[in-house]
Amino acid sequence: MNTILTKFKNKDQSTSNQQLEMCLEVRTNNLKSICSALKICHENWIHDLERYRDESKLLKLFSNRQIMIMIILLTSSIHNQTKRVFLKKLYNNFTWESRNQERINEQEQQLTVECLSHYLKSLRISECNLSVENLLRLYDENRIQHGDNIDLCLKKLCQFLKEMFFDSKQLYPPLAEQLVGRNLKHGKNTTTMAPPTHQNEQYLVTFHPKTNNKSLLVTLEHDLDMETWCILLHIFNNKFPSSYQILWGSISTEEDILLFYSRIRTFIHLTFVVLDIDKMHHRLREILLNEQDSLTRQKDLHAEVYYFSRELTCRKGMKPYIIPRGFNADVTRARLNNNYQLLGCTPPQIKTIVGRAGIGT
């Protein structure tokens, strides 16, 4: 191709348009072949992933991207340039050893365990051993070898998660406990056995618009103000939710929505929240509302779901959520700080500036 283009540039008479067209056709066909192969690989990956998600429910708590990253992290460092490039981009300020290969391998293992720990801690499951020693042991026992096929990679990842959380009761409590727990949550102060019948619950949390200026509303990236924070903490019993319990509508894909509702149908004792519905693309909002309608019509139990919106009206299967009165920002802040202490986390140092530019507030 370069030779032909150079001849054209130099107005070489030995080169014709037909030669250029043939060359372009060959290049185009090669790209189409690569694209088709990648499409088949992706379809096989999604098919195998869904199959393993049915077998190992823990995989439903992670997005497809998170699962792919954990597979990269579990893969042996030998001949694994993908893992090294990923870690170097993630830890761009980390000082890597330049010459000693043994020291480089130690650093890579250290960062690998740190990343795996981050993903496992994000589930907020208390009854598991996340010590460095235990992580290293399970990492060595379930290490993925370079070149393993998709099926084997997912199998080893499932085994790694299963040994880490050993069918956590926090995720799979007995059915009687689930029903009694919900009665207590909604103010029914009783310790008797919950009745066998159970009504699935979906709530609409409606806010009044903060402003009538629609152009201002569009510029806001999200609706997570103090009022929303107070309601969220109340819904989650003054505890931090896990990331998989919240669907951010403004940045969600169709894949995210379907996976989220799969969690709702699987982990029926948990609570789930949908935020930023008003900022969703109309096609994705339609998919979301179709899933909500599907929950309404299904007979099997599903988890509680809360939909936060300023525009949505109550649909079939939804109940209006009565926002408690008397929320206090100082009390909420104290509860947030308490949660940070319980989790051993440092609160983010965020400074909020209120007001229009130039008014000095």
Q: What is the pLDDT of residues 174-205, one digit of tens each?
A: 554 444 444 444 544 443 334 333 458 999 99
Residues 262-319 pLDDT 10s: 999 999 989 999 999 999 999 999 999 999 999 999 989 999 999 999 888 889 989 9
Comparing 325 with 312, which gets the higher pLDDT?
312
Q: What is the mean pLDDT of residues 146-167?
A: 89
User: Is the Cβ–Cβ distance between 261 and 293 less than 8 Å?
Assistant: no
Extended strands (E) in the chain: 202-206, 246-248, 271-275, 304-309, 318-320
Two tokens, residue 86: 């990923």
Cα 65 from Cα 144, distance rounded (Å)? 17
Cα separation values, 338 from 233, 270, 334, 342, Å? 12, 22, 6, 6
The tokens of 6 are what?
Answer: 């150079």
Higher pLDDT residue, 279 or 345?
Answer: 279
pLDDT of res. 167: 58
Distances, alpha carbon 173 to alpha carbons 59, 97, 169, 303, in Å: 18, 47, 5, 13
Both structure tokens of 354:
């209120």
Residue type, 26: V
Q: What is the pLDDT of residue 184?
A: 44
Who contacts 111 (Cβ-Cβ below 8 Å, separation ≥6)?
87, 90, 91, 94
Reported as half-sphere exposure (CB side, CA atoms, 13 A), residue 64 has a value of 16
Residue 209 predicted with pLDDT over 70: no
For residue 319, the Cα-to-chain-centroid distance in whole angstroms is 27
Which one, of 230, 261, 224, lies nearest residue 244 by Cα? 261
Cβ of 56: how many Cβ atoms within 10 Å? 16
Q: What are 279's two structure tokens?
A: 């900022």
CB-based contacts of 73: which residues, under 8 Å, 6+ apart? 83, 112, 115, 116
SS3 281: coil
Tokens read off for 24: 């372009």
DSSP letter, residue 144: B
Residue 245 and residue 234: Cα distance in Å, rounded?
15
Confidence of residue 359 (pLDDT cuts 50, 70, 90): low
pLDDT at residue 94, as a whole number: 86
Q: Between 127 and 202, where is the model more confident?
A: 202
CA 66 to chain CA centroid, Å, is: 7
Chain center to CA of 128: 21
Q: How many CB atoms lie within 10 A of CB 318?
A: 19
Give the model confidence (pLDDT) of 68-99 as tens digits.
999 999 998 877 788 988 998 888 888 888 78
Q: What is the pLDDT of residue 213?
A: 53
State mean pLDDT over 246-275. 94
Residues 6+ apart with CB under 8 A from 67: 49, 59, 154, 157
Model pTM?
Answer: 0.78
**Residue 217 — very low, low, confident or very high, per pLDDT cuts 50/70/90?**
very low
Q: What is the DSSP string of 318-346?
A: EEE--PPS---HHHHHHHHHHHHHHHT-P
Q: How far, rounded to the nearest angstrom, does the alpha carbon of residue 246 sit from its chain's CA centroid?
A: 9
pLDDT band at 166, cuts 50/70/90?
Answer: confident
Query: With pLDDT > 90 as the criterion, what percentage of the chain qualifies?
Result: 42
**pLDDT band at residue 323, thresholds of 50, 70 and 90?**
confident
> What is the structure's pLDDT at 127?
76
Bigger pLDDT: 336 vs 44: 44
Contact between residue 307 and residue 277 where contact means Cβ atoms under 8 Å apart: yes
Site of tokens 């599903």? 302
Q: Are strands 246-248 and 304-309 parallel, antiparallel or unpaired?
A: unpaired
H or E segment to which residue 178 belongs: helix 175-185
* pLDDT recorded at residue 22: 81
Structural domains of the chain, ranges and CATH numbers in brackets: 24-168 (no CATH), 202-209+221-343 (3.40.50)
- State mean pLDDT over 116-141: 89
Look-up of token digits 């619950």: 201
Q: What is the pLDDT of residue 245?
A: 95
Q: Residue 2: its pLDDT value, please?
A: 67
The SS3 assignment for 75 reads: strand
Q: What percent of the chain has pLDDT over 70?
A: 76
Strand partners, 307: 204, 274
Q: What is the pLDDT of residue 96?
A: 84
Work out the mean pLDDT of the chain and round it to a whole number.
81
